[in-house]
Structure 1
Amino acid sequence: MTPPSTPQPPAEPLALVVGEALIDVVHRADGTVDEHPGGSPANVALTLGRLDRRAQLLAWIGTDSYGDRIRSWLSGSHVDLAPGSDGAASTSIATAHLGADGGATYDFDLTWALPADVRVPDETVVVHTGSIAAVLEPGATGVRRVLAAAQPRATVTYDPNIRPTLMGQPGEVRPVVEALVAGADVVKVSDEDLHWLYPGADLDVVATRWQRSGPALVIVTYGGDGAVAVTAEHRLEVAAPRVEVADTVGAGDSFMGALLHGLWSAGLLGAQHRASLAAIDETTLTTVLEQCVQVAAITVSRSGANPPRLRELTGHV
């Protein structure tokens, strides 16, 4: 007689982050140059891993030394690479030039594609994408397929994180961004991105229009001035802690990772929780956003995209 099989415990819930991982070559105002792994979606995944969330990155890197460096960087924060993510001929590079205020401008040597036969794991509760990966072909078409496949069971989140040197003119990019916004449950966008997409527009008006197009929650970040969140019922502002800024590399990405972590802690991720996410109350939203600005403040206080680990946060959720 065959013994009865032992029931397997359910898999731990997963965040799937889809997008570029690359090497940032950072030229500082004092003339020094640093190299370190980065890429907006990769930074979001790294933040989630450091906040003790199970995260997987679906990317496009090579098997070269830069790719090895990215793999080691991710694994050090408990982030897995999705199968097939190492199929690129070479690993992409972003060159960042930092001003005296720590702000960054970027140039890219980058290709973006997705591995064949992408599978969204059954235990996925959120899929995040943004920046270059959501716009640059041929990978952007694959990103949209992944989002469509994930939507029946997972929350979909998006951060435009505009890179003008790769994305073209605002009029060309705007329809792509707006379509992704309309299909997402949560959108985080910087004031700089909105000013570029909609020159001269009232950002509150844009955020409200975006929220009404589909997302339950739209958040506009204002750097050191905090963030504004818009839902169907609320408009909520939070201030950012005052810190000495080393640079702003990865600040928005760490905010995004902390946002996913906070909504996860509040039990609001997963397709089955869409109604609850849409009805998020002001107290819960305030708690989540206060941690987001705390995480971003820690990130800008140190060089590079170096988000905090959970143990570094005070009063964490």
Structure 2
Amino acid sequence: MNFPVVRNRRLRTSRGMRNLVRENSLSVHDLIYPLFVTHGTDIKDEIASMPGVYHYSLDRLEEELAEIHELGIQAVLLFGIPEHKDAEGTSAFEEDGIVQQATRRIKELYPELLVIADTCLCQFTDHGHCGIVVQDPVSRQAVIDNDRSLELLARTAVSQAKAGADIIAPSNMMDGFVTAIRAALDEAGFEQVPVMSYSVKYSSSFYGPFRDAAHSTPQFGDRRTYQMDPANLREAIREAETDVAEGADFLMVKPALAYMDVIRTLKDNFDLPVVAYNVSAEYSMVKAAADKGWIDEQAVVMEMLLGMKRAGADILITYFAKDVIRWLKEQ
């Protein structure tokens, strides 16, 4: 009898066999966990649109850090919610700003935990944009003053490094932001502090829950003039090439789930570590469907993140980090 050839069936017969030939895997070393810190006391407030994610005041931060440490998470991405907002986002670069205070607190409690400081102005401006807004003299429309914004972003990066941040992660998408921040860090004596650039950040509909968490929704207009068009791939290569030339140490793609082709493109074209940001709506959609009983949350999350690794991500920023580590320990 002639039997059809079925390739690789013998390599799928058992879990042990599949593990031997597995091409990609997830580990605790892949993961960065985002943290939201705020002013006030005795605050641990769940973010309504992101179940299981909280705002922490500095005096409640230790309990979250203890859990992070116990799970073996090595890095957190720090976002601050300030008391004061103004047109220039001055709270972003003040010595006693919320991110700076939280960074010092983390380093006091867990000095080995890597602190990655998000470097942007949107949480700190009263208009919610990532740079300084001015009126165009011709069109009379509100526009971003790119160069003035760079000056404030550079000040913010230096203040974060002085507070102890291990990595600066600029998410603002201003033209020339890596050059400005790299030069400012070097001039201030922080040559060893790397820049994790949000190189490819799309003007996406997947940020809604984050804007709820960070209180950073634009008060007018949108961010399409300085974030990327979701329709464009070649532009991502140009953006990344610029950041590499300007001195970036990591290249990030944000969001991740709908942009795996972009992750693969960066992986194939550049030799820097590629970071995928599994963003807030990607998290919240899974949580909502799991709450309804429509999906197996663990199975979906692990498959989703593994897909990002398969696409080429070296590092994953995800709100699922704590859950993933617990699930990995159960395997």
**TM score, norm. by length of structure 1:** 0.35
Structure with the largest fraction of helix: 2
Rg larger for: 2
**TM score, norm. by length of structure 2:** 0.33
